[in-house]
Amino acid sequence: MYPPLPPPAPHRDFISVTLSLGQSYDGSKSWRRRSCWRKWKQLSRLQRNVILFSLTFLMLCGFLSYISVADQWRAVDGRSAEEQKTRPADPPVLPAPQKADAHPENMQGALPQKPQRHFRRGPPNLHLRTPSKDSEDPRQGDTKRRDEAVGDAHQEESTQRTVVSWRGAVIEPQPGTELPSRKAEAPARPSSQAPRIQNPAASPNERQRAVIDAFRHAWAGYRKFAWGHDELKPVSRSFSEWFGLGLTLIDALDTMWILGLKKEFEEARKWVSKKLRFQKDVDVNLFESTIRILGGLLSAYHLSGDELFLRKAEDFGNRLMPAFQTPSKIPYSDVNIGTGAAHPPRWTSDSTVAEVTSIQLEFRELSRLTGSKKFQEAAEEVTRHVHSLSGKKDGLVPMFINTHSGLFTHMGVFTLGARADSYYEYLLKQWIQGGKQETQLLEDYLEAIEGIRRHLLRRSEPRKLTFVGELAHGRFSAKMDHLVCFLPGTLALGAHHGLPADHMELARALMDTCYQMNRQMETGLSPEIVHFNLYPQNDHKDVQVKPADRHNLLRPETVESLFYLYRLTGDRKYQDWGWEILQSFNTYTRVPSGGYSSISNVQDPLNPQPRDKMESFFLGETLKYLYLLFSDDPDLLSLDTYVFNTEAHPLPIWAPPREV
């Protein structure tokens, strides 16, 4: 018998305790890592694969984005370093500027001046000499130029501006049948081989050389003290900004080409290529920027054949298009070329009639060159709309039009001066530009000329000068702006293109008047505004000037019309009159350190009171028209081949459509 088994050992429970001095669970990363790993192991294989694929995809996208952004910044940094080292390829025409200004392109880094805002007014064979007989082919190196960087640079913020003016003239703020359309048959884009300069002309004559000297003196001041800025302040040897787009430089491009100033042109061309950027937060006036910048770039393209200017023109034209986005399709006066925000002036919802009807030459030509119909369609819709409006007086139009309603405002006031002048000019010039096919433009122009004869034309005492006054609510005023002196040239141009012969007679009479507006002043320069004496009085001249109107802004209108009258009549007295005016500019407006200045008092030859501003149109228009006036070559920018925009930029007349 076996002995009894011993009782089972008692069951013991053990508790394991880990002692860690001074430590406890605090949510640290090591604890979380172990917890996350457990959760990861608990996922199925499919879930883990989906997560891994998503993470890999996100990392790949981030890597590609980094490469793209890094390349862009490297390109910008490379351009900045290169631009800082760049110097003009050619030396200045005049003696080298002071050492501090030896690199005018580097002036962009200078402390910016506060912009002063102005609201101003509102391919055939080229028989033109090359810049110099031994000059290189202007198209050489085009392949290299096309590859140049066209990056955008951030610019200084735009500032609020309050001065309201019309092409430099201060103006106080004041609270049917459609044209033939080319929409269906838009022309194909012309060949990239732009028209080339042919038939070099003879050397410039003595008077033309005097114009070249004046241009070089003005350009030397701009180059030394205002390079790359909008306008020169010659007295203070500084600059002023309006748009911050090198306005004087662009306005003068075609003038330099016509005058044969190759070095200056190439230096300016280099600035356009490397410095001119439109991606900037700044408001521009639609009208002024169109006639000066867009017109200047298109003209430079046609004369030089350099596609850089066409590319810049198309870029700028696209940035102006938001101005047309209004309820009535009548464009706003201002548009921000960086943001695309467009708006009317801050003091009204109106645009001026001249502003909205004097952009058509440029927009139509831009469409013809690029093949994009939107520019021409937007501009011509404005023309058709204005044609259909009531409120005219025998073809004369009011000065303002509302961008919301599309109707004329401030009814009953009619003038050919500020805010209406170029409406009449562009009726004729669009008709000429389009090959004389758009009869509605011609009819509107002819009606307007008859309206001028009936309502605005008078004769002064004692010399019986024919002048164009103004009409306000049925009351005539013997006031005439110097701006109206565009009219003799426009009338003569129309007569040259087959309009009635009495248009030329009126052109001659008005040309005499515009000359007297200069000659009867002690400085030989016309004031901004004159009043004519209507009644015989002892010791009274025909031309009277009020103290507030005695300034001269270096305007081109008189010499513009002198050019047309001499070119179309051959009467040399018009050349002599232009020579007198050039001499007066040299005597009373030339600044010794460089540049020309507008003056405040044309009646005081001892103290004409310089206003310290050289408008861009002095180089873009005044000197260009003087040079052409003194030329005896009718093929130098032939009036059968070109039409000048209102800023004197020549654009080609379209060839008539071929019959099929």
Residues in binding site: 646
Contact 467, 478 (CB under 8 A): yes
Helices (H), 470-533: 487-496, 502-519
**Residue partners of 299: CB distance under 8 A and separation at least 6:** 253, 254, 645, 649, 650, 651
How far is Cα 564 from Cα 557, in angstroms, rounded to an integer?
11
Provide the pairing of β-strand 197-198 with 126-127: parallel
Omega of the bond leading into 462 within 30 degrees of 0 (cis): yes
Structure tokens at 320: 């102006």
Q: How far apart are CA 484 and CA 465, in angstroms?
A: 14
d(CA 313, CA 360) in angstroms, rounded, equals 15
∠ CA(292), CA(295), CA(299), 5° rounding? Answer: 125
Q: How far is CA 240 from the centre of its chain?
A: 16
Of 312, 322, 307, 299, the closest CA to residue 374 belongs to 322
* Alpha-carbon span 142 to 154, nearest angstrom: 27
In sequence order, what are the residues at sequence separation of 6 or more whose Cβ sits closer than 8 angstroms to the Cβ of residue 531? 478, 479, 480, 543, 544, 545, 546
Which residues define the annotated binding site for Ca(2+)? 646
- How far apart CA 190 and CA 239 sit, in angstroms, is 39
Q: Which residues contact 608 (CB under 8 A, 6 or more apart)?
A: 523, 588, 589, 599, 600, 601, 602
CA 358, CA 286: separation in Å to the nearest integer? Answer: 10
Output the six-digit token pair for 166: 């019309």
| β partners of residue 239 | 232
Active site residues: 288, 421, 528, 557
- Positive or negative, the CA dihedral 52, 53, 56, 57 is negative
Q: Which amino acid, residue 74?
A: R
Gyration radius of the chain over CA positions: 34
Structure tokens at 147: 């590859």
Dihedral sign from CA coordinates of 297, 303, 308, 314:
positive
Phi/psi of residue 480, nearest 5 degrees: -140, 125
Q: What is the phi/psi pair of residue 481, to 5°?
A: -75, 150
Length, in residues, of the chain: 660
- Please report, for residues 123, 181, 285, 558, 655, the alpha-carbon distance to residue 376 in angstroms, rounded to integers and kept in the order given: 18, 10, 19, 31, 17
Closest CA to 611 of 550, 563, 657: 550
10 Å CB burial of residue 369 (0-12, 13-18, 19+) is buried
Q: Catalogue the E-assigned strands of 307-398.
A: 334-336, 342-343, 350-352
Query: In the β-sheet with 479-481, what is the strand arrangement from edge to edge?
Result: 479-481, 529-532, 543-544
Q: 233 by DSSP, 3-state: which? A: strand
CB 598 within 8 A of CB 589: yes
Report which DSSP code applies to 302. Answer: H
Q: Measured in Å, how far apart are the chain's first and last C-alpha atoms?
A: 137
